[in-house]
Structure 1
Amino acid sequence: MAEFSTRAIHSGQEPDERTGAVVPPVFLTSTFVQDGIGRMRNGYEYSRSGNPTRDSLQEQLADLDGGVRALSFSSGLAAEDALLRAVLAPGAHVVMGNDVYGGTHRLVNRLHVPWGVELTTVEMSDLDAVRAVLQAGEPGRTVVLWVETPTNPLMKIVDIAALAAIGHEVGALVVVDNTFASPYLQQPLALGADVVAYSTTKYLGGHSDVVGGAIVLRDEELAERVGFVQFAAGAISGPMDAWLTTRGIKTLAVRMERHSANAQAVAEALVGHPAVERVFYPGLESHPGHAIAAKQMRGFGGMLSIALTGGPEAARRFAESTEVFQLAESLGGVESLIGYPSEMTHASVKGTELAVPEHVVRLSVGIEDVADLVADVEQALTR
């Protein structure tokens, strides 16, 4: 099998048969001519059920994560919702981390819990705590163990292989949100997970110009069930969105190397700074999850968070004082972004156990010159 970087460029990217174009065309069509009633050309009928550009992206995603099938959606949350709708029913139990992405928690807590699903949050790095909340009996069996690593935004690291084994003991589907790591840095299916979830908006797209999501599965029967939900509810990625995501993935490996190197340098520059109480970055040996991250990741990624010694006011001032780092939602693009999670990405969990401390700022470290990035955070800390 070819190496990751080669597959990222060539999987699902056969040259156009008619013209020989190296880059496959974008099929901007809603429907397809049939040769007769029910006689479709190459299986294409209507772009909600299938589109060649989306299929190319899905083949690329499945190959990179080692799955049997991938499904591309209009957003990361749409992908998560389709998966959950395919496997949950009233009375089912879901377990997720107490540092899970706020939007994921909101999706389950505000939409699925009122439908009769039970939700438990737990410190996912504490394996005994996870075992204690998993339910094996009927009704109320734990159907989904939702894992996120590194977590958003406190960068906790959890042992995917250990959690997969624990989840499978009670028959739970083990899902890993791999958005922060990307398939280049981490391979959850190879570590025992059943499903990988992505916001492809982030590192897979990589250029802050497209919103999307994906589910990669190791089981064909489950893939069929999730695919039916997608077809029935319609949360597909459009052809242009799929094409932009595919284009981004082709440079994923080189970008992730640069993101990781830059984030490491920024993290090391912030350690010990008098204005910084703590740096949350798994590439630091002082990080409690460093050893696990080194074992299950190829690199430590481009995301880090910091807690400011001056409290919430200092955090707000810092977030509004950078010049290269731009104040914005989202992450994973080539440009560096900064956010204040308590009021931005995680506002939906404010006041709950998932609330992000108000003196924490999150950095999405881009691929600019590292000297400029370090200088920027240092000047912002003096404001």
Structure 2
Amino acid sequence: MRERTLSLPELLSPAGDRERLEAAVRFGADAVYLGSSEYTMRSAPKNFSHTQVAEAVAYCHQNGVQVYLTCNTLPRNDEADGIGDYLRFVGESGADGLIVADIGVMMAARRLIPQVELHISTQTGIVNWRAACELHALGAKRVVLARELSLEEIRVIREKTPQELELECFVHGAMCMSFSGRCLLSNYMTGRDGNRGQCAQPCRWSYRLMEEKRPGEYFPIFEDESGSYILNARDLCMIEHLDKLAAAGVSSFKIEGRNKSAYYVAVITAAYRAALGVLGKDPGHYELPQWIVEETRRVRHRDYCTGFYFGVPQQGQYYESGGYVSRWEVAAVVTGWRDGWLSLSQRNRFAVGDELEVLEPGQRPVSLRVTAMRDGEGNAIEACPHATMELSIPSKNAFPPGSLLRKCKENE
């Protein structure tokens, strides 16, 4: 496994498919979590077939990264019938851990695949030390604590639980208006069960008020003609407070986002990897360079907050829209370098004269102006309009394959 400073928490990144998996590994994750097509709380990403899971595990282990498979839905009777076969597949895959939310699944896993660590999902809603202790007695190696806990509550749980029980907490990503992800709103309004990976996210919709005696007349809930997004939670960002989480006893820092892009996974993983580097140098004086904090703003995100870690959020909802702040986008992925030319695979259109930023693993982003451009045949071109087209641009620096070039879409 990848060597990790024992005093530092694990950095755990999401992997919705192979591209996002490689981004997480390349940009510094200690571990990744992913799902197959079954029993997973995220049905939107491509996820992994059984064969792909085995390949993903082999790839991660070759790079010193651990793999945790998700089996964190709340299965109904018909779904529970197939749990045994799925668990045997997990055991054969070589995965390091299994994330579960259902007590029946947990106990079946303990009997059928005792060699695989059991991680108890945030879906279980663990908010006290007694629950954590009992789950540990039943065989849990790790508990993913409820997102509604404060730092002080986490500290108490750490004090009153066995030291060998690991505590995992979310540090970044989307938050849900429900309790620890358990929500019936989507099922009630659309028939899509959020507890089985099919959430339609009605908490992100705009709502208006209708008075029962005046049907068809809709009144804005907020002082705005656009209505109000009354259930729309802000995103979580704890990058400036990792020292406090570590001091509270958190073992693993989890990034949410299996539905997010490979660019998102790369940038956020790289930012938290850099932040952990700062924390490791001097835990008592944790102060981040501004560029690390700014990296969290260079992906699609909602307005940030610190969740419940410092008490009940005073500004936990965002009422103006259900969309994202999205000022930056990935322009290309580096595939090689030769004789002063950087080989690229295009992701979004850019042109000669554009100012780009290059993000390579373990390094601060650097600027690169596009002074010329050649297509895959070596012909001079002024722009690259076709997705995934091969091209090259001049660069005195040989950035490694997998590095990302990005472009600001508007002035920040």
Per the normalisation by structure 1, the TM-score is 0.30
Higher helix share: 1
Structure number with the bigger relative contact order (C-alpha 8 A, sep ≥ 6) is 1
